[in-house]
């Protein structure tokens, strides 16, 4: 089985995934100096991480949508 590493940019953070080791690391993706691009945090990918990340994505989308509605005057929070 071929293994791979994957890098995903989310705002100012780079997620690096290592399939062979089943690990991830978070790095300062837009750091100017290479010394500042080391892992800020790393760990093993757990069974519940996919669900947790989907919940995070949904929360981010809800905040973004609410902001757009408020900006356009369509908020139900009156």
pLDDT tens for residues 51-75? Answer: 999 999 999 999 999 888 887 776 5
28 domain-assigned: yes
Asked if residue 50 is part of any domain, the answer here is yes
43 part of a folded domain = yes
Confidence (pTM): 0.73
Residue 78 in any domain: the answer is: no
- Please give the average per-residue pLDDT across 18-44, as a whole number: 89
CA distances from 73 to 36, 55, 63, 66, 77 (A): 42, 27, 15, 10, 10
pLDDT value of residue 67:
83
Q: Is residue 77 in some structural domain?
A: no
56 found inside a domain: yes
Could you tell me the residue range of the domain that residue 17 belongs to? 5-72
What is the domain count for the chain?
1
pLDDT exceeding 70 applies to what percent of the chain?
91
- Is 22 inside a domain boundary? yes
């Amino acid at each position: 089985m071929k293994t791979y590493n994957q890098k995903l940019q989310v705002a100012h953070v780079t997620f690096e995934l290592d399939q062979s080791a089943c690990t991830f690391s978070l790095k300062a993706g837009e750091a100017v100096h290479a010394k500042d691009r080391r892992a800020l945090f790393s760990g093993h990918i757990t069974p519940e991480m996919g669900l947790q990340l989907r919940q995070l994505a949904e929360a981010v989308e809800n905040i973004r949508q609410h902001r757009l509605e408020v900006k356009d005057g369509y908020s139900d929070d009156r």
